Structure 1
Amino acid sequence: MLAPAAARPSAILEVVIGMVVIVGICYAIRPADPILLGIGFPWIWLAATVFAVRYGASLGVLAGLCIAVAWALLYGTSGDAEFPTMLFVGGFAQLVITGHFCDVWANRMKRMQSAQDYLDDRLASLTNNHYLLRISHQNLERTLLTQPSTLRDAVRYLRDLPVSNAQDETLPNAQSMLEFAARSCQLGAASVFCVSGNGPKFRVVASVGESFALDADDPLVRECLEQRVLVHLRHIDNEESAYLACVPIISASQELMGILVVRLMPFLSLNFDNLQLLLVLLSYYADSIEQQEIVTSVQAGVSQCPYEFALEIGRLGHMQQISGVPSSLVALVFPHEPLAESLLNQVLRQHRALDLRWTFNTEHAQVLITLMPLTDENGISGYLLRLEDEFRKQFDTNLTEAHVAVHIGAIDANLATYGLEGILERCGYRA
């Protein structure tokens, strides 16, 4: 309550009413001196300072103006009252200084929060990737002989699905996804239902096998919607259900987009590993719905850009747009020479945890594009200095002597490819 995250629209009214109440209390205590001019310390300015620290310099000055109005109404009516100029000058100076301190740190906190949100997103993405890797490894060991495709094939298939689908825009390509899941997990009859409204309302958008209508009052469906987790018959031992399993489709932003309801599947396929694989496939599909639009906008200008690289540059461009936190691109162009090949391998070995890299060959050179999140010009300078120092120690050369061209660019949210296309043109890249 004392330090709100952002100033509310009612803050002006709160400051004015608060100062009126404070002046009223002071008037009740000292009717002859309602703004406490004669007690040795300007206590009423302390109240205005609280508003300045709470809301910033602008509303702090407003609180000071309330004190000035109170003096004009309560003291200025008598002809012999002299305006305490120095007291008010010092008071307003105090309000501006404390309010400016509030404004500066509020802005810093906003930038730090934006950077923290990005790092949380990267951590969640890495966690999901590790989970996918573990599930893929287990699935490959246990079901290689019977499973028609590996999880890696499934991820590749879902990633390559087109962006839009005329059948449904909320769950695009739901039919293609369900058909692939049915082949991978041996589903006999299943349907995907889009969830909309507060009811919620269900609309079938894809189905395999014999189609069926969804019973929203089925205990398995209710449990899936309430808990937002995969549920099957074992979760409702004391109740009967017309379905075998229900799997929620939840996006990366934790929005429930739909549910997949399985009505028929072979008995031996109804096991933990198979259902867990189905859950992972649907989770990746839901994440791809939000990510595909970003990737497509980048790949429309740079067709050969890798999926992960395009997704990350889009995320950083969005973060730069909403918070101004900079990120950068560094391109190193190595000529086709033996020394340059060794230098490129050395650069590849020095990999920062957050950086993403994209290497490709042109007719005359090898190009390494490094995407450096949360890095400004000073960070790039430090990165290049470290490379120069490493090259000097290992190969007794530097970038200039080795004929390695360096191109630097910043992520620009106002460009279609966030600045990637421009830096590639400087490297001699042709789409």
Structure 2
Amino acid sequence: MQDTRATTTVAQSGHATEVHGWLKWLEVVLVTGLFLAAGFWLRPDDPLHVGNTFAWPVLAPLLIGLRYGFFPALMSSLLVLLVAGWHYDKAAATAYPWGWAAGMLACGLLAGEFRDYWERQLRRANAVNEYSLQRLEEFTRNFYLMKVSHDRLEQQLAGSSGSLREALRRLYGELSQTRSEGLNEESAALMLRVLARYGQLQTAAILAVEGNRNIQPKALATVGDYEAVSESDPLIRYAMQERTLVSVQTEFRKHLKKLDTDLLVVIPLISSTDDLVALCVVESIPFFSFQNRTLRLMAILAGHMADMLCQRDQTMAGSHEWQSLCSQARRAARDAEAFGLPSVLLKLQVNEQDLATLADRMTGLLRGLDVIAVNRANESPSVVLLMPLTDELGLAGYLHRLELDIRENAGRSLWDFASQQSLVVKTEAQVAEWLAREGGAID
């Protein structure tokens, strides 16, 4: 049952039409009066069609109920019943047609209740639809916001330093193409170019260091409008003393009383054998690149650069591949201690007749930074693999791929002819002891 409201909303041909309250009640009176007037005009002796086959005045409350609902249908039915009471009282009828009156009232009220029920259903459906549209609008707004953020992030990543693995892969690829050995203008220019790319350096230079202490005043390579700096610069002295990357941020945190320098960052190039071969001095760097992530990346790259410069001068037992693996293992240990970068050493020991097959399959699965070497120093030969920037989960994935590859190509399981030993790189002493047992010291 619906209460009277100032306006009523009804559905007509799929559109909502607002009907004013006074117009609704005017229509109730006019429609009901029209049917009653028609009955008095057509059948004066029985205007309410009580004795007829069909009581036509019932159409008035029926139509009102279908259009406006329960309460207007009730008013229309009562109006008809009042007219019927007046007519029978005037005609001095012996009996009032109570059955006819009950049917009249029932038809109007049932039609009104039917209309009200479906109006409630329609309103509920409209509410659900409006909620769905609101949620869809919120989702669309969030989707486009996320899309814009993703596009902006892609643009930033396209011009930023990228991943450490990709940076090291590019570093080894470019420095391995130099024809000359040691630190010179060509190798310094390549190293500075890599640092400038991944550190977004604007003004910087590479200064050679002789004997771990003597800084050469002339820069081997420069980028931007570089101005020569004195070796007595406090940032340079502090970097030489601490033998680590320092910046003005570091200096301020140390609460130095005086900071008279034109430099922002000094990056020492220190090899895994603790030899200081050069300094990268930075005078200008974008503000958004002057953060710990970028400085950490450049410090890691500088250490690998120093190792590449010193690697040809090292005299270690074993083949060139074994020497390279030992040098890279020491660098991985230093990265693990200083920066917490994971690395793994893997040894697979086999018989001589299976050595070539295993080495070929492992070489085929090498990634960009992996280093592999065959070691025959012990009684049984083995293949040793260094996997930089890889944790135990990455090692498990590699062994699974190797097992599937050997099973597919050799028709047997890897563990039928190979035994495994692995080491998660954590400290330099740990790596030195592990490799020494394999027949190649890295001291």
TM-score calculated relative to the size of structure 2 = 0.37
Which has the higher Rg, Structure 1 or Structure 2? 2
